[in-house]
A and B are shown apart, each in its own frame.
Chain A
Amino acid sequence: MAAARMARGGRAYSGRVIPQSFDSVDGWRTPSPRLLTLRRLEVVGTALVLAIVGGVIAALGAVVWGLAVLATAAVLGVLVERTLKQRFSAWGYLERADDLLVRRGVLFSRLSVVPYGRMQFVDVTAGPLERSFGLATVRLHTAAAASDARIPGLDRTEAARVRDQLAELGEAHLAGL
């Protein structure tokens, strides 16, 4: 195992073999593909609303303005749609022995590391849209307000598993402030 890790570019540090960087670690999981469908639906919905507004404006007589709103809706919709897939595939999480890793973002890429011992509580939320897709968001809270560990679009059963797993590991690793 250690040899295999070394072969992938790991190195020895503090007596343990640690990876060169967290990106080279295997085992990253991704949210459910239904999250992508959900996000697409949201974009289409917003574009549709804008288009209707445009149509109403055009019908009321200001044809140029109405068409302008329609065109903007179409262009924005297409642009956002194109980045959705990238943004979706940027999401990832990895449960290690001592900490949880969450990565996200395309323009601003972020990688959060939250040690289980620092976790104060875990909550699972699901909005109406998410619920109709059978999805849920898991969020980790630490004593630091700046901590930002959120995994959206998890399958409901997976969300429950992650929550229980985190709660159990948090209990085992708990450290005082």
Chain B
Amino acid sequence: MTTTTPQQQDWQRLHPLSAVVRGGKLTIALAVVLVPSILLGRENASHGLWDLGAVAILTTLAFISWLVTRWRLDGDDLQIETGLIRRHSERYPLSQLQAIDIVRPGLARMIGVAELRLRIGGSTGAHARLAYLSERDAVPLRDQLLDLASQARRDEPRAPEPATAAAEHLLLAELPTGRLVVSMLLSGVGIVAVLVAVALIATAAVSTRAAVAAISIAGVWILTAGQLVWHRFNQGYRFSVSDTPDGLLLHGGLVALTTETIRPGRVQAVRMVEPLFWRPFGWCRLELDVAGRQKRKGEGREAGRRLRAALPVGTHQLAEELLDRLLPDRPRGALEPPPPRVRWKSPLRYRKLGWSRTRTCVVTRSGRFRRVTCWVPLGKVQSFREVQGPVQRLLDLASVHLDTAGGNVHAILRDRAALEASSALVELVDDARAARAAA
């Protein structure tokens, strides 16, 4: 594996039961409807025949989709081909690999398969999906892909092989379930959910009929909120972060297990969020932005905007430790406050605004109710913008935006004195050039 000569593998297929898992809820629904009627209900022969026909057609379709989908490793590229009538061949250069996820939904775990999701950087933010592979093959394949990716990029020498397997996985943080539950109760959704529940119980105490009516009216909302809460709990359950030679390893989940590997040097920006209600506990959430996280077709707004939480909820001390590892060169110490006249423009934000920098990293802080702190390595900045609105012109202020590839972290030097902003812009551009050259 040390040679870089292009190796062409033979075509391989996915796990034969992929379609069952991909069908997801549909498969479960089908099983619930069909299995009893086939096993028990034989009073109507033609009806049973219809059922069998439907199953046969679906099975054939699933078989064809399995037959026409194949993948292989071709040198430094991953090649995936799908489609029967319209053949679709995709090539993903592993040198652009940002992160690999292993995703195992509940149904997939029952069957023993896993999905491999490769995040490739680029303006389209494409994902290469191998859904599904046998659980046994998924982890070795991930390691192989990571190996190939780091060989493809010569500028990231791999650490010498550690002596023991235990040294490879350095556990950085774990999330206790109790803290997860409390933090969720204290989040926006949690508080709304508690209020709604209390209101419903109160209504029910007065009149049961009114409560039933309320539930039937707001049923969809309650269901959606419940799903959201469940999703968050599912993601955060037994969450852990560890450091491996291949990058940062994020692992967690209750029913659906997710393991994400973020390659070293691929973090575009880091964000720390401190919601208002968490402040008494001194908790915060630490989020990473990786390239290729823009919203895509077929992905909901929520999913598109969701960042990888490196720490769904944790203490400040834990966050600092993680930050030390992610951005060793980050600015420390107090941030520079904005000029006092900013109070007229941003009264709520004024106390939280501030920024600071080193030659390679910028930190900005903002937020009206929750405090949001963003760190951006200067070498990763895609473009800079200086913006001055009408109110800012009146007060002789300006903002400098740092645009990053992730698109979810907005590092903004908000409301600085106009002179400070324009000279900061010049210096940051110059430092970013030096940081890119050094990378």
Q: Nearest chain A CB to B437's CB is how many angstroms away?
A: 9
Contact of B405 among A111, A113, A117, A143 (CB under 8 A): A143
Asked if A110 and B382 sit within 8 Å, CB to CB, the answer is no
Q: Annotate A102-115 by CB proximity to B: 1 below 8 A, 0 otherwise.
A: 00000111111111
Residue of chain B at shortest CB distance from A113: B384
Q: Nearest chain B CB to A146's CB is how many angstroms away?
A: 4
CA distance A120 to B405 in the complex (A): 11
Contact of A21 among B268, B381, B422, B430 (CB under 8 A): B422
Asked if B383 and A142 sit within 8 Å, CB to CB, the answer is yes
Which residues of B104-124 have CB atoms within 8 Å of chain A's CB atoms? 121-123
Besides the known contacts A109-B393, A120-B123, 20 further A-B residue pairs in the complex with CB atoms under 8 A apart: A18-B427, A22-B422, A22-B425, A108-B387, A113-B383, A113-B384, A114-B382, A117-B436, A120-B122, A121-B123, A143-B123, A144-B382, A144-B383, A146-B410, A175-B436, A176-B153, A176-B155, A177-B96, A177-B266, A177-B268
Residue of chain B at shortest CB distance from A97: B433
Cβ of B380: which chain A residues have Cβ within 8 Å of it? 177
CA distance A164 to B64 in the complex (A): 47
Contact of A14 among B390, B419, B431 (CB under 8 A): B431
Contact of A110 among B387, B430, B433 (CB under 8 A): B387
CA distance A13 to B388 in the complex (A): 25
Q: Nearest chain A CB to B435's CB is how many angstroms away?
A: 10
A125 at the B interface (CB under 8 A): no
Q: Nearest chain B CB to A105's CB is how many angstroms away?
A: 8
CA distance A121 to B431 in the complex (A): 24
Q: Annotate A60-88 by CB proximity to B: 1 below 8 A, 0 otherwise.
A: 00000000000000000000000000000
Residues of A participating in the B interface, judged by any CB pair closer than 8 Å: 13-14, 16, 18-23, 98-99, 107-115, 117-118, 120-121, 141-149, 175-177
Q: List 22 A-B contacts (CB under 8 A).
A: A14-B359, A14-B430, A14-B431, A20-B423, A21-B422, A22-B426, A98-B433, A109-B387, A109-B393, A110-B386, A110-B388, A112-B383, A113-B384, A114-B382, A141-B123, A142-B123, A143-B382, A144-B405, A144-B407, A147-B385, A175-B439, A177-B121
B389 at the A interface (CB under 8 A): yes
Cβ of B121: which chain A residues have Cβ within 8 Å of it? 143, 177
Cβ of B381: which chain A residues have Cβ within 8 Å of it? 118
B31 at the A interface (CB under 8 A): no
B261 at the A interface (CB under 8 A): no
Contact of B426 among A21, A98, A109, A114 (CB under 8 A): A21
Contact of A23 among B123, B379, B422 (CB under 8 A): B422
Q: Known contacts A146-B401, A177-B121; is A109 also within 8 Å of B388 by CB?
A: yes
Q: Known contacts A109-B387, A146-B401; is A20 also within 8 Å of B426 by CB?
A: yes
B98 at the A interface (CB under 8 A): yes
Asked if A21 and B425 sit within 8 Å, CB to CB, the answer is yes
Cβ of A149: which chain B residues have Cβ within 8 Å of it? 383
Q: Known contacts A20-B423, A22-B426, A175-B436; is A113 also within 8 Å of B96 by CB?
A: no
CA distance A104 to B288 in the complex (A): 32
Q: Nearest chain A CB to B149's CB is how many angstroms away?
A: 12
Asked if A147 and B430 sit within 8 Å, CB to CB, the answer is no
Asked if A177 and B405 sit within 8 Å, CB to CB, the answer is yes
Cβ of B96: which chain A residues have Cβ within 8 Å of it? 177
